[in-house]
Structure 1
Amino acid sequence: MIKLFITDLDGTLLGMNHSLKQKDITAVQSLDEKGIDFGVASGRMDHEILEVLKKVEVGAHRVSQNGAFLYDRDDQHIHSQTFEGPLAKRILDVIEEEPLIKTVSTADSTYTAKHSKWIDLISEQLFHDIIVEPSLRDHVGTKIHASKISLNGTEHEITEAYERIHSSLQGDVDIFISHESCVDIMPKAINKGTGIQALLDTLDVNPEEIVCIGDSFNDLSMFELTPHSYAMSGAHPKVKEKANHVVDHVYEAIEDIEKKMKDECSTF
């Protein structure tokens, strides 16, 4: 019996320029009448997830910033984790020479040390402006409590940067390609999988009773939790390999689960 449906946002439920498909919205809204709870697991901040939920007109459990923050659908705080100051500064030192756009996220803000046209482009896909703070490194760990550190660039640049950073920081952080143009660095053992597991423990729900759908490498940790995992057809081939099903749209996953639940009921 499925009790919880969890979706990623960007590239899954959410398209470019914050677009949503009406069929996906309708399918998500129908979950409640099927007795299925709804959740979102995203690299975005919690306040951004809430903005999307306003458009969908539903409430949801929320795993934000790849598991750094966790709230239930009643807005009760379950979990949060940020970097220790010295480690955050070390990460900034390691990535200093990388020819990529670097940003530092806190619970509700995003910072960068230098403005560029790319910062403006990234800001357009967020629900808030990126703050330019030239003294960013000095403030990290004191005024700025980092929960996620990201690098943005071309797919080729991101792949190469991932290998270098992973080699330098392996064992101290969780690092993954969250989008073809972005690498996210997280505190150790903080990812969507651990965030969802904390939620399941709170709700007293088993991993076999949830469905997860996503499209990026940061979704693999939640795919590993459940046999009911769905990848978007536009995802990287290695991401699709790790999912048990592949669909074009979120509503197709919901329809598939509904069919399977009906088939189960008909056997009794």
Structure 2
Amino acid sequence: MTGSEDSPSFRLAYVPGVTPDKWVRIWNERQPDVPLSLTQVPAAEASGVLLGGDADAGLVRLPVDRTVLSAIPLYTETTVVVVPKDHLVTAADEVTLGDLADEIALHPLDDVLGWERPPGRPAFERPATTADAVELVAAGIGVLVVPLSLARLHHRKDLTYRPVTDAPGSAVGLSWPEDAHTDLVEEFIGIVRGRTVNSTRGRRPAPAQAKDERAMPARSTRTAGRKQAPGKPSGGGARRGSGGAPKGGRRGRPRRK
């Protein structure tokens, strides 16, 4: 398993559309002795890569099987419709699924939105990949509804996109095998959650006894270890300059003016 004491390293899988660059940069700053390797995997294969031990953690499309994988959600993407630049849809700043009812909506086999019922009219056959669907949109065969990151990933100069306000969003999260929550995984969790390098999250609090000892004032080195004479008060007598005299002592006569 990666992250052994002999040669620690961290393997991160990520799905198309996700850009881990910022988190990788922070990792390299905080863990210069632990190399991080990146592997892009299709969204449908991400869980298998994690469970097969080929990655320590992954930036994946949610949901995942929570009986075997742990996951924390990071963000949910806006959903857009990809169309040719001269399409009628481009007249509006945003559209609804109802606006696409009469359009041929391409539904690739690697779709990540998990439709209960895809929008628009179905094409005669489903494209194998999102990249293939984008080519069909450019050919004027239909429109494509995808997360914004995938629209940007497959950008073409002759295509554009508009937000679809009532379409489902695609959630992205960090996931790892349930039984492999290592220290390196916890370190990457802290990075994606924005913890600072000095964050105390996950550290053990100081024992109560030690905390109490730190709170106690230090004893004077002049009195430490000194034995108290029998019959004498612990205060050591009256202080000089305190303005008072020992009890029962004689007072001097007042000076004449």
Q: Normalized against structure 1, the TM-score is what?
A: 0.29
> Which of 1 and 2 has higher RCO (CA within 8 Å, sep 6+)?
2
Higher helix proportion: 1
Structure showing greater radius of gyration is 2
